[in-house]
Amino acid sequence: MTETFLKNAWYCAGWDSDIGIGAKDLVVRKIAGRPILLYRKLDGGIVAMEDRCPHRSAPLSLGRKEQDSIRCMYHGMLFGPDGKCSHVPGMATVPDDARVPSLPVVERDNWVWVWMGDPAKADADLICEAIGPGNPDWILKTNKIQIKTNYRQEIQNLADLSHVSWVHEMTFGGTEDWGYIKPKHNVTPRGIETRYCVRQVPAPAFAKHLFPEDARFDIQVHVRMSVPCNFILSFAVHEAGDATSGPTNGRLLLDTFSSQAVTPRDDDSIDYYFSWGTSKATYIPGIVDLMHTANMEAFLEDKRMLEGQRERMLEFPNAPLVDIVHDAGPGRMLFVLDKLLQEENEAAAAREAAQ
């Protein structure tokens, strides 16, 4: 069977604060189609394993933490943090195959990342560079939403910001300029990178009330997207300059940064984790709260559009699609994803044929 999720990739499993260290703190996340149990050991390290007892498929998340181990509370089997069963009540010997797949896990930038593929290939350097709310140089707020969409549609949404003018007319938008920008997207080994400047635009709708009506700004944008669907955005607001190409030469007013990690739960829904805020150097009292509220509203605008799109895609599964100029970014990002997926599917087919 062809897999639709990349295995050898880091998937965000949430914010570090989602996973407590209490005796009762067991967290389940559906990631790329698999239910994953997460909990902290006594030393604070995070354990990630499949949330399924190999005996009769009971969820381990209905179990009991015992030191660093987890006991299945259906028949009492005890599993270590490596997923290996250490004890079956009533049996002197533990069956060899009594083992739960455990997963490499890394905490970075206040995010928890889980590697869904071959543990030997788990390379923490593949985790996207982000800025977390714990970073001392930034003031950031976080949130999360769930959207009923396939993650490919979320990729298409994020890899083309022309939709800001339309979907986000009432929040991030407020000018049609975004809808006409056709930036160059550079392909990277695991995604795309995009830099451009939006020039001479009014303040976004959510902040218009802070400025005179004729105030104009240059916005310097730097996007790095990576598989499965992570979106790292530097969004720097400058006074409008007079450069007409290349970076703005206007004075920096507000340096903002948004880290967004999208994790497919299954083929039909995603978990969306995000932060946004400003550097301490450019911070203005109240601005991060304003940005954060606008961000949540904007992502609900996306959710409404994506869930509407999903309904129509289910109704018209084979309808031809018309391509437009703004599909360049989405196309490049999906090209990278599909290339990696194809490599994994071919390797899996080869392994199967060799058996």
- String of DSSP letters for 5-68: S-SSSEEEEEEGGGS--STT--EEEEETTEEEEEEE-TTS-EEEEESS-TTT---GGGSEEETT
Residue closer to a second copy (CB basis): 169 or 193: 169
Residue closer to a second copy (CB basis): 14 or 173: 173
Encoding tokens for residue 181? 């920008």
Residue closer to a second copy (CB basis): 240 or 313: 313
| Least CB distance to a second copy at residue 26 (A) | 12
**Spatial separation of the C-alpha atoms in residues 244 and 9, rounded to whole Å:** 39
Residue carrying the six token digits 């003031």? 139
| Least CB distance to a second copy at residue 264 (A) | 14
Which residue from 162, 186, 145 is spatially nearest to 271, judged by alpha carbons? 145
Question: Which residues face 64 on adjacent strands?
Answer: 71
| Least CB distance to a second copy at residue 86 (A) | 14
| Least CB distance to a second copy at residue 66 (A) | 12
| Least CB distance to a second copy at residue 56 (A) | 6
Residue closer to a second copy (CB basis): 120 or 319: 319
| Least CB distance to a second copy at residue 220 (A) | 20
Residue closer to a second copy (CB basis): 6 or 161: 161
**Spatial separation of the C-alpha atoms in residues 312 and 315, rounded to whole Å:** 5
Buried b (16+ CB within 10 A) or exposed e, 256-265: bbbbbbbbbb
| Least CB distance to a second copy at residue 323 (A) | 7
Residue closer to a second copy (CB basis): 33 or 45: 33
Cβ-Cβ contacts under 8 Å for 3 (sequence gap 6 or more): 341, 344, 345, 348
| Least CB distance to a second copy at residue 162 (A) | 6
Residue closer to a second copy (CB basis): 69 or 153: 153
Length of the chain: 355
Sign of the CA dihedral with 29 first, then 35, 39, and 41 last = negative
Q: Are strands 185-188 and 191-201 parallel, antiparallel or unpaired?
A: antiparallel
- Output Rg (C-alpha) for the chain, integer angstroms: 23
Q: Which residues bind a second copy (CB under 8 A)?
A: 33-35, 51-52, 54-59, 61-62, 71-77, 88-91, 95, 97-98, 153, 156, 160, 162-163, 165-167, 169, 176, 179-182, 304-305, 308-309, 311-313, 315-316, 319-326
Would you call 98 helix, strand, or coil by DSSP?
Answer: coil
Residue carrying the six token digits 């400025």? 211
Residue closer to a second copy (CB basis): 77 or 229: 77
**Spatial separation of the C-alpha atoms in residues 49 and 101, rounded to whole Å:** 6
| Least CB distance to a second copy at residue 324 (A) | 5
Residue closer to a second copy (CB basis): 55 or 222: 55
Which residue from 110, 111, 112, 116 is spatially nearest to 49, judged by alpha carbons? 116
